[in-house]
Amino acid sequence: MNYKSPVYNVTPVHYTKLQANNYNPNTVPAPELKLLEKSIWEDGFTQPIVCYPLENSGKYEIIDGFHRYTIMQTSKRIRERENEMLPVVILEK
């Protein structure tokens, strides 16, 4: 089947190939980030990071999922379990 929606094309991407965007800065208090880390540890990643490719760099800019990306950066146990890979949907624009 040929689906048009990007969500059907989740691919693992090394977390160092992702970067935050600079147009949507939002913050989450430390207790909530700790809860997110606990949730990801217990249940795994349940949603992919959404991003688009940055021209000629081999990197991707995050559109949605910055806090999940942050957990990957800061949680050694999750990084190790996931082999440093994040589930990503890449929007080709």
Q: How many Cβ atoms from other residues are within 10 Å of residue 71's Cβ?
A: 23
Q: What is the pLDDT of residues 23-77, one digit of tens each?
A: 876 788 889 999 999 999 999 999 999 999 999 999 999 999 999 999 999 999 9
User: Of the candidates 36, 45, 40, 47, which has an alpha carbon nearest to the alpha carbon of residue 6?
Assistant: 47
Query: First and final CA of the chain: distance in angstroms?
Result: 22
Q: Is the pLDDT of residue 1 over 80?
A: no
CATH classification for the domain delimited by 8-19+27-90, as one of 3.40.50.360, 3.40.190.170, 1.20.1370.20, 3.90.1530.10: 3.90.1530.10
Identify the band that residue 92 occupies on the pLDDT scale cut at 50, 70 and 90.
Answer: confident
| Predicted structure pTM score | 0.89
| Residue 92 Cα distances to 9, 72, 73, 85, angstroms | 11, 24, 25, 20
39's enclosing H/E stretch is helix 30-43
